[in-house]
Amino acid sequence: MKLVCLGLNHETAPVEVRERFALSEKKMTEEGTQLMAGSGVAETVVLSTCNRTEYYAVVEDGGVQHLEDWVCQKHDFTGSREGIFYHHEAKNAAAHLCRVASGMNSMVLGETEIFGQVKKAYRAAHESGTTSGILNKLFQRAFGVGKRVRTHTGIQEGATSVAGAAVELAEQVFGKLKGSSVMVVGAGEMSRQTAQALQSRGASSVIVTNRSFEAAEELAREIGGAAVGFDDWQNSLEKIDVLISSTGAPHYVVKPRDIEAVRRKRKFRPLIMVDIAVPRDIDPEVGEIEEVYLYDIDTLQQMANKARERRIAQLKVCEGIIEEELEKARLPGME
Amino acid sequence: METGYLIGATVLATAGAVFGWYSRAEEGLGNRAFWWMVGAFICQLLFLGERGELRGQCPLNDLGEICLFLAWSLTFFYLVTGSTYRLSLLGVFTAPVVVILQLVTLTPGALEVNPQRAEVVDAWRESHAAFSVLSYGALALAAVAGVMFLILNNRLKKRQLKGGIMTGMPSVSRLVQAMARIASVGWVVLTIGVVSGLLMEEGEINAHLVVAVITWVLYAVLLGIYFVRGLPGRQLAWGLVSLFAVSLLVFGKL
């Protein structure tokens, strides 16, 4: 019996294929149990996220091809399989799981959500009785490796998205964002993502304004904020700490005089302004005001790119940790 | 023995500056500058204790003693502020200033070799000297926080957001808050120093006391504007740095 991993992910399969193989939590367990019912499969854990579906199994020799056939049949997949699936065996399968748990194989390198997803998938499989000696030891070790990789390397340092970079900037100015107020000018997708990222770090109130008041109200409802009309958004400047602008306007929406008018009322408190629009919404001269910290999409993109580069540079160190840990563990099923 | 304490304090503060710089990414008490400065503080206390014994009064009679008292006061406020507001990086900026002050004390001639024991001690005079120098420690630290703010502000404005000195820097808000709070504490202590000066037995208004009163008024105006009307962080920082530098220069000349 040996350990195998069969899977497909964002690098090997387009979204229309991935969605065919995607499984709910309940279905993951069901499929694992059904796999065990067939001959030659001793243990299984099925992992399914928006970017991957993977089967970890302990099978008889040659069982991985049988596993692939079974999975394709189960999901009624008749298209070309070329390059869609990857197979890993024994030590390579163990190393792959460690990479997945550490976020090294994720679309956003180093993201942390995958660790919880792997844990959930393992727990479900364990509770349904489809794991035993080999997979139990392997997953426990993979969780240990995942933790060590995250704490001993820079794989998750820095923000790799525009929204994340905006949060990082706001934290550099305000420290903790707990209790801070945000204004979103424009009700587009980027505004929503950035506002939600700030909320997730503690921003307590969000004011949304948009040329179409209905769109502002809709976004405000979605994120638990308040909508204000596009005619009097300037009146709310007094209360806010962060302004995010992402409208489709062909001219500057926020001008120096808008900020100058409220400086005294704000008692010259720091104000961070993030302009994610192209063409820009905020007149660059606004950045000349002493307590204003203005950043545009290029700055955020550069920050995200640099963080990504730093994370890529950490991959070698992470691989070293995985190799060392697997060597130390001497897991069964690796021959 | 007292020179030993002084050398010890200087070595420890230097170590604080060096190790603090390399551990600046670590937060709070993890910043090693803090513990080196605790060591330096103990050595400064031992030195000042011995000097006070020799003089029979507060040891503020020669250049060396004044510089060391100021270094002690600066270290004291850093230790209080650094841990309270998690502004450990302040230690990295404070330690070099402490080292310079202690090197001045170590300079031959800065300390009287055989200090004379005071025959008459005026309590108001002692209070005036001690509280004034103590306040200068806080005001120096506020100026150090001001320098940190100006560096941070400049980097943020120029979008130089990562690496180098930015590692472990506190946030803009925290630095503004720290500048205002430390300067306020310094101003309150200076108030006690100035009032004590006005109550001295000599009763005469000398140039030294006039400068102290002017300094007290200027700090009051700056802090008053900040708390009542509000002030951009950059202006507060420049105000604290220049007020401290100018007043120190004037006192040095007197």
Q: How do residues A239-288 score in pLDDT, each as one tens digit?
A: 999 999 988 888 999 999 999 999 999 999 999 999 988 889 999 999 99
For chain B, the domain total comes to: 2
Rounded mean pLDDT of chain B? 84
Residue B30 clears pLDDT 90, i.e. is over it:
no
Share above pLDDT 90 across residues of chain B, in percent, rounded to a whole number: 33
CA distance to partner chain B, nearest, from residue A277 (Å): 18
Say yes or no: B62 and B128 in one domain.
Answer: no
Percent share of chain A, pLDDT over 70:
99
pLDDT tens for residues A144-168? 999 999 999 988 887 778 888 888 8
pLDDT at B56: 82
Q: Do B90 and B131 fall within a single domain?
A: no
The whole-number average pLDDT for the span B225-233 is 95
pLDDT exceeds 80 at position A78: yes
Higher pLDDT, B85 or A228: A228
- Considering the domain architecture, whether residues B80 and B144 belong to the same structural domain is answered as no
Q: Which of B79, B111, B143 is the last residue of a domain?
A: B111
Average pLDDT over chain A, rounded to an integer: 90
- Statement to judge: residues B94 and B39 lie in one domain: yes
In a domain? residue B66: yes
**Confidence (pLDDT) at A189:** 85
B116 in a domain, yes or no? Answer: no
Q: How many CB pairs under 8 A join A and B?
A: 50
Question: Does the residue B175 lie in any domain?
Answer: yes
Domains and CATH numbers, chain A: 2-156+311-329 (3.30.460.30), 162-290 (3.40.50.720)
Give me the pLDDT at residue B171, please: 85
Q: Which residues contact A200 (CB under 8 A, 6 or more apart)?
A: A167
Question: Lowest mean pLDDT: which of A37-51, A316-330, B188-202, B203-217?
Answer: B203-217
Percent of chain A with pLDDT over 90: 61
Residue B247 lies in a domain: yes
- Top-confidence residue, B167 or A19: A19
Q: Which of A309, A151, A270 is nearest to B170 (CA)?
A: A270
Closest residue of chain B to A169, computed from CA coordinates: B161
* Residue B31: predicted pLDDT: 61
Q: How confident is the model at residue B58 (pLDDT cuts 50, 70, 90)?
A: confident
Range of the domain at B244: 121-254
Q: What is the pLDDT of residue B126?
A: 84
Same domain, residue pair B145 and B223: yes
Q: Is residue B44 part of a domain?
A: yes
Compute, in degrees rounded to 10, the torsion defined by CA atoms B12, B18, B22, B24.
Answer: 70
10 Å Cβ neighbour count for B236? Answer: 25
In this structure, the answer to whether residues B33 and B94 fall within a common structural domain is yes
What ipTM score was computed for the predicted complex, to two decimals? 0.78
| Together in a domain, B9 and B106 | yes
Residue B164 confidence (pLDDT): 66
**Structure confidence at residue B85 (pLDDT):** 45
Question: Which three-class secondary structure string do you get for chain A?
Answer: CEEEEEEEECCCCCHHHHHHHCCCHHHHHHHHHHHHHCCCEEEEEEEEECCEEEEEEEECCCHHHHHHHHHHHHCCCCCCCCCCCEEEEHHHHHHHHHHHHCCCCCCCCCCCHHHHHHHHHHHHHHHCCCCCHHHHHHHHHHHHHHHHHHHHCCCCCCCCCHHHHHHHHHHHHHCCCCCCEEEEECCCHHHHHHHHHHHHCCCCEEEEECCCHHHHHHHHHHHCCEEECCCCHHHHHHCCCEEEECCCCCCCCECHHHHHCCCCCCCCCCEEEEECCCCCCECHHHHHCCCEEEEEHHHHHHHHHHHHHHHHHHHHHHHHHHHHHHHHHCCCCCC
Residues B165 and B248 in one domain: yes
Same domain, B37 and B163: no
Please give the single-letter amino acid code of residue B21: W
Query: Which residues in chain B are closer than 8 Å to A172, comparing Cβ atoms?
Result: 156, 161, 169, 171-172
B169 and B225 share a domain? yes
Mark whether B132 and B28 lie in a shared domain: no
CA A167 to chain B, closest CA, distance in angstroms equals 13
Mutate: best of A168, A173, A292, A299, partner B, most B CBs <10 A: A173
**B81 and B148 both lie in a single domain:** no
Most confident among A78-82, A239-243, B247-251 (mean pLDDT): A239-243
Mean pLDDT computed over A168-188: 88
Asked if B174 reaches chain A (Cβ–Cβ under 8 Å), the answer is yes
Instruction: Assign residue B238 a region (left: φ > 0; alpha: ψ between -120 and 50; beta: otherwise).
Output: alpha
B239 within a domain of the structure (yes/no): yes
Mean pLDDT is highest, among A188-192, A282-286, B20-24, B207-211, for A282-286
Report pLDDT for A253: 93
CA angle B148, B151, B155 (to 5 degrees): 140
Residues of B in contact with A269 (CB under 8 A): 230
Region of poorest pLDDT, from A101-115, A122-136, B54-68: B54-68
Rounded to whole angstroms, what are the CA distances from B114 to B54, B55, B97, B119?
9, 9, 27, 15
